[in-house]
Structures are given as structure tokens and as C-alpha cells.
Amino acid sequence: MKRSIVFGTRGSDLALWQTEFVKEALAKHYPELGFEIRVIETAGDRILNTAISKIGSPGLFATEIEDALLAGEIDLAVHSLKDLPTVQPDGLKVAAVVVREMPNEVFISKKYSSIHDLPADAVVATGSLRRRSQLLNHRPDLRTIEIRGNVPTRIAKVYDREIDGLILAFAGVHRLGMDKYIREIVPTETILPSAGQAAIAVEIRKDDTELASIVSAINDLSIAKCVFAERAFLHRLDGGCQAPIGALATLDGDDILVRGFAGDLDGTEVIRGSLRGNAAEPTIVGTALAEIFEDKGVERILERAKSDLAASDLEVI
């Protein structure tokens, strides 16, 4: 087999780490292949002074990369799966889910050892409506502020401005070797992660059967089942990665357990639930849990969240 594979990725430290990880995994199976990494700037990389939730693009960190993939400028794309819209462009597919780190959030602070230790009226930075909703549901006496930038930039901003705390995904902090800043690994009972959080996705063109065969060597079927269940839940609720929706699936033998969350912006009205089903049908289980949420009135809650977001003026640091 003689082929050189061109990878497309964002240029952040974390995106490049993930791309190198995928490249090395493929090289172990196919040492004869050549590899090239091409950095592509996305809208999310360019627009840094606006809250992610205010931009409104479902492919904020993926569209330009997917366009390059469709145009044949790259052969495959490496994404943080949580940033990939649940509806992909015609002609593309997720061909492999490579690895998943612990999906929990982490709490970072100069002063406080945990969310529990924060005093009333403390300010916590987050770039996610999902984190904000769950945090304020857990601690309604706190205040939140929007933050933008990559992992090192966000940590630096919080330390320089002496913000009381910051919520980030464990995976990004850990993969960049910045564990020393972690004060608490937040239980998923407190903040449920985003669908697909901490998983790396490999996206290719559907008609590239040779590359599909190649990347299948690094696909983790167990992880894939879990993240596809989570994405099915998110898709049914018509929520992008910016909506206040969380999901986490785990395997237990032949079963899969899917847990879900949806709430308003301030965490005053939330729905939590879980559903166990056949692990061989993960998307069916994820969709069925979303239907339970629909029966509980989730559409009204999410519509109110969308309306409140449009009317709000989010301060961004």
C-alpha cells in the first residue's frame, strides 16, 4: 500500500495533540504510509470576542475543515467529537472514534479547592451554556462569566484577572499536561458532559473506501457505541454543541446506560433522566431517552433558553 494521507485540523495546541495522536496510531498499523498535517482556521478560531453561544453556527469549529475535506484538499479530518455537529454534510462520515479520555469537567481556581468551597456570589468562568445551567442549578448563589480562548489562554485569563473559578473539560487540560491546575474533578452527577466530550473523531469522505479500511484499524467500537448514543440524544432534541444539553453513555455488559440533562440558562428548570437498553442499538436508546425528555416538556425549556439567550448581553473575557 503506497499512499500519503493529508490530515486537516485546527491549529490549537489541543487540536494538534489530537491529530498527532491519530497519526501515530495509524503509523503503528501502517508504517509504510506517509502523513502530512494541514492546519485550517475555523470561524471559532477567528471570532474570539463573542460568546460561542451567541455566534450560533452549528459547525463553528468544523465547517471550514469539512469544506476542505469535501473539496479533496485533505483526506481526513481530526475533530474533538463534541465540536462536530450531529448532522454532517452529505458525502462525509465519522469513520473512527479513536480514544476517549475521562469525560468529566474540572474546576480550576487560585483560591478555592472545589465548587463546594466557593463563597456566595463567587464568579466562575465558562464558555458553555450546558456547564452554566448545571453549575447554577447546583449552586444558584454563584455568578458566571463567558470566557473564550484555548485551554492555556483560559487558565491564564482566570489567573491574571483573579476570577474565582473556571470550568473546563478534563480531557483538554490533561492532554496538554496541565493537570497541576486542577483543583477538583467534577462529578458527572453535578455537571454532565457534552455529547462526545473527550472523544476524538476521524471524519472522511464516504466514497473513500480505501481510507475507511485504513482508519477502521484504530476505531474503538465500545467508545463509538457510547458517543453515538449521546449524539442521538442530542440530535433528537435538536440541540447543537452550544445548547444547555448534556449526555453520557456507559456500557455494562450487553447493556448501554444513557444519562441526559437539559435545562434553562440559569439552571432554575432542568430535566435529568436515564435509560438502559441494548448496547447493540445505541442510537435507538439515545433517541428513546430524548423522547422521554420530550414528554416531560423539554422543548419548552429549550425554547425559553434560546429566547433568553437572544435577549441577553453576555460579558466575555
End-to-end CA, the chain: 49
The answer to whether the beta carbons of residues 36 and 78 sit under 8 Å apart is no
Which grid coordinates belong to 219? Answer: 476505531
**282 φψ region: left (φ > 0), alpha (ψ -120 to 50), beta (else):** alpha
Query: Could you give phi then psi for residue 19, rounded to 5 degrees?
Result: -65, -40
Catalytic residue IDs: 83
The answer to whether the beta carbons of residues 183 and 98 sit under 8 Å apart is no
Q: Over the range 284-306, which residues count as b (16 or more CB within 10 Å of their CB) and which as e? A: ebbbbbbeebeeeebeebbeebb
Q: For the CA atoms of the chain, what is the radius of gyration?
A: 19
The C-alpha atoms of residue 171 and residue 179 are separated, in whole angstroms, by 10
DSSP for residue 217: G
The answer to whether the beta carbons of residues 74 and 204 sit under 8 Å apart is no
The answer to whether the beta carbons of residues 26 and 33 sit under 8 Å apart is yes
Q: Which stretches of 61-195 are assigned E, i.e. beta strand?
A: 76-80, 92-100, 105-108, 123-126, 143-146, 165-169, 182-186
